[in-house]
Structure 1
C-alpha cells in the first residue's frame, strides 16, 4: 500500500463508481479494479460493496476511507509546510459567507502585501456553511468562516465536533436593513417590519450561497414583508440598484463604515427583527496556521473591532 493507492480509494468513494473514478484519474478501469482488489486483500477487509449501480463503502470501508483522507491531508500539509512556501510565496485558501466585512478584511490584508517577485496562490470562495465545513474538512480550504442562526447552534457545533474541526466564535449580530441615503426609511425614528411592505426587496438568487438566511432559507419567514422583489445573481449590481431605486432595501450583516460611505449607503436596525446570528472561524484539528492565515484572521478581527460591528 502507498499514498497513491489511498488516493485511488478516496476517488472511487467520491465517484461512486470504479469506471468513473478511473476516468477521473486518467487510467484504465481494469487496472484500478485490480489495485482496489489487491489493497482489500492486503488489508484483509472489503472496502467497497459492488452493486449494479456502482460501488458503496462497507462499514469497515468507510472507516478506512476516513483514515485515508486524514493521512492524505496530513501529507499535503507537510508538503505545503516544507515545499515552496517561503518569503517569496503567498498562499491562502479560505471559504467564507457573503459578508462585506469579511471581503473588506480580505482586500485590506492583500493590499498590505508586496507581491513583487512572489509566487501567488490565493483562493477566496464565498459559499454556504455546509460547503465550507466540507471544504475545510477535506483539505480543499485551510480555514473558513461559517454562519448560522442562534437556534441552529447545537446542530452546527455537533457537526464541527463530529468532523473534528476546531472553531472560534468571532461575531454575534442581527441582520440589518441596507438602504441608500435617499431611501425614505432613513428619516424614520423607528423601523418595523410593517414599514417594508411598500419597499422593494433585493435578494440574491443563488440559494447555494445564502448571505441572507432571513430571506433565502425560508421563503415564508415572518421577516419577509415585501410584496415586491428583485432577484440578482451577482454582487456587482446590488449597490447600484440601491442607489438608483431609492425604495429598495437588502437584509445584510453589518457593513464597515468606509464601504457605506463609498456607496452612499446606510444600515438601519429593524426593531422587531430579533434573530441572532453567529460567525465562526473554523480549521482542521492540528492544522498549523500559515503566516497568510494569521494575517487574514488578524485583519478580520481588526475590521470588526475598529468598526464596532
Structure 2
C-alpha cells in the first residue's frame, strides 16, 4: 500500500469520478484506475461501486476512506512540522476565521520577510473556527486564527489540548458595530440596540447557530427579530457591501482606523453587546520552536496592540 494510492481514494471519493479526480491531481486517468484496482486486490475489499452516476463508496470503502484520510493528514502534518525551509524562503499557510486585523498582521509579516527572502509562498484561507482547528490539526495549515465567545474558552482550550494544538489569546472584547460614515446611526457614540432592527445586517456566512450569536452579543439576543439579513463569507465582500448596501451594518471586533478611513466606515459602541469574545492564534505543539511561528505570533500581538490603541 502506498500513500499515493490513499490520496487517489480520497480524491475519487471527493470528486465522485476517476475522470474528475485525475484532472484535480494532474494525473492520467488510467494510472488512477490501475492503482485503485491494485489496492482493492491487495486488501481483498471493494472500495468503490462503479455506476453510471460515478464512483460510490461501499460500506467497507467508507471505513477505509476515514482511516486513509487520517493517515494522509498525519503525513502532511509530519512533512510540514519537520521539513527544513531554506533561510531565504518564506513558506506559510494561514487559516483565519473573521479577524481582519490578524490577516492584516500577516501582510505586515510578509512585507518584513520580503526584504530578506528570495522566495515567498503564502496561502491564506478564510473559513469557520471549526474548520481552522481541523485543518491546523491535520497539518494542512501552519497557523490559524479563531474567534469564540469567552464563555466557551474552557471547552475550546480542552479541544485544542486534545488535538496537540496550542492556543494563545490575542485579545478579548465586546463586539462593536461598523457602518458607513453616512449611516443614520453614525451620529451615536453608543447606538441604542433597538434602532438596529430598522437596517440591513451583514452577517458572517458560516451560518452559526443562534446560541452562538447570543453568546457573542447578549444572552437575551433574539435572532428572529432581524428581518433584513445578508450572509457573506468573504471579508472583502463584507466591506464592499457595507459601502454599497444602503444603511447596512455589521457586528465586528476592533478594526484598524486605517481600514475604516479608507473604506469610509466608522466603528460604534453598542452597550447591549455586553458579552466578551476572544480571538486566539493556534498552531501545532510540534511547531512551538519554529522561528517562523514565533515571528507570526510576535507580529500579530504587536499589530493587535496598535489596533486596540487606535494607532493604526
TM-score after normalising by structure 2: 0.72
Partner of 1:100: 100
8 Å contact from structure 1 (residues 22, 32) kept in 2: no
CA distance in 1, matches of 2:302, 2:96: 17
Partner of 2:53: none
1:138-157 deviation digits (Å, cap 9, x = unpaired) = 22211111122234445544
CA distance in 2, matches of 1:179, 1:169: 27
8 Å contact from structure 1 (residues 126, 209) kept in 2: no
| Structure 1: unaligned runs, 5 residues or longer | none
CA distance in 2, matches of 1:224, 1:303: 36
Partner of 2:258: 258
Residue of structure 2 aligned with 1:241, choices 239, 244, 247:
244
Partner of 1:296: 296
Aligned pairs, number: 292
| Structure 2: unaligned runs, 5 residues or longer | 51-55
8 Å contact from structure 1 (residues 185, 191) kept in 2: yes
8 Å contact from structure 2 (residues 99, 253) kept in 1: yes
Partner SS, residue 98 of structure 1: coil
Q: Report the CA distance shift for 1:19/1:155 in structure 2 as closer, same or farther (over 3 A).
A: farther
Partner SS, residue 271 of structure 1: coil
Is the aligned partner of 1:73 residue 2:77? yes
Partner SS, residue 255 of structure 1: coil
CA distance in 2, matches of 1:61, 1:263: 46
Structure 1 segment 7-22 matched on structure 2, within 5 A: 7-8=7-8, 11=11
Partner SS, residue 66 of structure 1: helix
1:171-204 deviation digits (Å, cap 9, x = unpaired) = 2222101134444434435432112233x23415
Partner of 1:188: 188
Q: Report the CA distance shift for 1:295/1:22 in structure 2 as closer, same or farther (over 3 A).
A: same
Partner of 2:205: 207
8 Å contact from structure 1 (residues 3, 72) kept in 2: no
Partner of 1:178: 178
1:2-46 deviation digits (Å, cap 9, x = unpaired) = 5445545655676688897677653545532344246547xxxx7
Instruction: Give the RMSD, CA atoms, in angstroms.
Output: 4.0
Q: Report the CA distance shift for 1:143/1:38 in structure 2 as closer, same or farther (over 3 A).
A: farther
8 Å contact from structure 1 (residues 196, 225) kept in 2: no
Q: How many Å apart are 1:270 and its aligned residue?
A: 1.0
CA distance in 1, matches of 2:158, 2:258: 37
8 Å contact from structure 1 (residues 9, 65) kept in 2: no
Partner of 1:121: 121
CA distance in 2, matches of 1:51, 1:156: 39
CA distance in 2, matches of 1:188, 1:124: 36
Partner SS, residue 148 of structure 2: strand
Of 23-32 and 260-269, the range deviating more from structure 2: 23-32
Partner SS, residue 113 of structure 2: coil
